[in-house]
Amino acid sequence: MDPIVTVALVYLLLLAALAVWSRKESQSLAGYYLAGKKLPYWVVAFSTNATGESGWLLLGLTGMGYAVGAKAYWVVVGEVLGVALSWLYVSRRLKRMSDATDSITVPDVLAAPFAGQKNLIRSIAIIIILTMVTVYIAAQMIATGKAVESFTNFGFKEGVFVGAAIIIGYTFVGGYKAVSYTDVLQGVLMLLGLIGVPLVAIYAAGGWGAISSNLATQDPALLNFFAFTGEGIAGWIGVLSFLAIGLPFLGVPQLLVRYMSCRDDNELRKARWVSIAVMACFGIGAVTAGIAGRALFPGLEDPETIFPVLSGAFFPPLITGVLLVIVLSAIMSTADSLLLLASSAVVRDTGQQLLGSARSDHQLAVIGKFTTLLIGILGIVLVFQVAEETIFDLVLVAWSGLGCAFGPVTLCLLYARRTTGWGVAAGMLAGFLTSTIWVIWIKASTHGLYEALPGFLAGIVATLVVSRLTYQEKT
């Protein structure tokens, strides 16, 4: 048997074992969607990072390093700042609020203080989550297809179907606990890969000096971290846009539920430092691999295949199999969380809370599993409608849409005492719609200004202004 396929099969068996081990916890809604809020700090830390990065880290961000060179490090700065701010200013307050209101989902937390507007808030949140998560899942399926096609003799379509079956399978069986513990395994593998591959690529190229000489011949701007600043207003917009990629860390629901699932406040405090350090290693390793790959393999038709190309060129088949597993890990660690997020929006937020389902907790958990299956299938269908799009672009659209919808209102709810239910509803709509409209009609005429900046600003302004207009003092 092909060593690459053998390694992949061993990995899949390990994932299956984790799913079976976790199945007992998945018999209730809180267990299936939040692992009973019992996770230790190291699981939460690695699960947060692995979920936040996705297939775009090993394919999209390495491809970006390949395409634009040192300028891609601005994305790393933005991501580290974003995840640090989220841990420092959101995690602990959100955890306390979710525990106090017995919340299972992010819409639970947002709706809990506002009896009069809770259904409106949930309805808006459900629509946004289902729309953006479907796009996000499709991006991960595309990444799966590209990875399998690059590493093996399988085609793109076969790669999509195989990857989807695996992700949907262990999420269906084990729920959030299986997802979180597989995230730890996947996060560790990603970290090792993003240390090992860049180091081997640099060595193979003859050292960083040789890489610098090569890239200077191709385009001196590839080596200049500050190359943006020589491009006038367009350059500075580029810097702001790259930095703003970290802004949605403050509010994307698939990360906020990680804070909610932690065992206690003390565990959260320990988790944040692990998460921030690992995030820095992730980003630096991915961009560096792309830059080294540009020197070694100039002229690739698809820059997002540089990580598989490096893996196949400089490692024996057995290690190449491990590196395929690492790429799949990055994809799976996000896709499984997105499946659960969408499923919880349908079962918990729609079925139980909006429609008042009288089914038992166990029955709803079972329905949640089959909802996960259905959403996964819809994601596969969408893949073949958008397969020509780049992973980086698809992920950014979904990432910014979710972040702008939930980040501003979460911050206002945690820090602005007079935030109202009407303000939360307005903020979600304003952030989401501004982000989406910006991508479709405005971004091209603003030097590519990243949609999270206007979207986040619109969400905060709408929340605060509408809250001020609708706030009533309690008597």
pTM here is 0.89
Stretch 221-229: mean pLDDT: 86
**216: pLDDT confidence band, cut at 50, 70 and 90?**
very high
Minimum mean pLDDT among 163-172, 184-193, 302-311: which range? 163-172
Angle at 442 between CA 439 and CA 444, to 5 degrees: 80
**69: pLDDT confidence band, cut at 50, 70 and 90?**
very high
Contact in structure between 62 and 287 (CB atoms under 8 Å): yes
Minimum mean pLDDT among 388-392, 396-400, 462-466: which range? 388-392
Which pLDDT score is estimated for 428?
98
Number of neighbouring beta carbons within 10 Å of residue 340: 26
Report d(CA 277, CA 243) in Å as an integer.
18
- Write the pLDDT tens digit of every residue in 238-292: 899 999 999 999 999 999 999 999 999 999 999 999 999 999 999 999 999 999 9
Stretch 154-166: mean pLDDT: 82
**322: pLDDT confidence band, cut at 50, 70 and 90?**
confident
Which pLDDT score is estimated for 389?
57
Report d(CA 343, CA 422) in Å as an integer.
26
Q: Please tell me which residue, 86 or 51, carries the higher pLDDT value.
A: 86
Which pLDDT score is estimated for 10?
82
Which pLDDT score is estimated for 386?
62
Stretch 217-226: mean pLDDT: 92
Which pLDDT score is estimated for 341?
87
Stretch 364-392: mean pLDDT: 74
Say which residues have a Cβ less than 8 Å from residue 217's Cβ, sequence separation at least 6: none
Which pLDDT score is estimated for 11?
79
Rounded mean pLDDT of the chain?
88
pLDDT of 390 > 70? The answer is: no
- Write the pLDDT tens digit of every residue in 92-119: 999 999 999 999 999 999 999 999 999 9
Helix (H, G, I), strand (E, B) or coil at 344: helix
Q: Please tell me which residue, 465 or 176, carries the higher pLDDT value.
A: 465
pLDDT of 368 > 80? The answer is: no
At position 290, the amino acid (one-letter code) is G
Which pLDDT score is estimated for 158?
86
Distances (CA, A) of 171 to 139, 274, 340, 344: 18, 25, 8, 13
Architecture (CATH level 2) of domain 3-401? Up-down Bundle (1.20)
Say which residues have a Cβ less than 8 Å from residue 381's Cβ, sequence separation at least 6: none
The residue ranges of every structural domain in the chain are 3-401
Distances (CA, A) of 304 to 64, 199, 289, 377: 8, 19, 11, 25
Contact in structure between 294 and 218 (CB atoms under 8 Å): yes
- Write the pLDDT tens digit of every residue in 400-456: 999 999 999 999 999 999 999 999 999 999 999 999 999 989 999 999 999 999 999
In this prediction, what percent of the chain has a pLDDT beyond 70? 96
Stretch 47-65: mean pLDDT: 86
Please report the DSSP string for 10-40 in residue order.
HHHHHHHHHHHHHGGGGGSHHHHHHGGG-B-
Tokens found for residue 37: 């809020």
Stretch 182-200: mean pLDDT: 90
- Residue 450 backbone zone (phi > 0: left; psi -120 to 50: alpha; other: beta): beta
Helix (H, G, I), strand (E, B) or coil at 262: strand
Stretch 74-93: mean pLDDT: 96
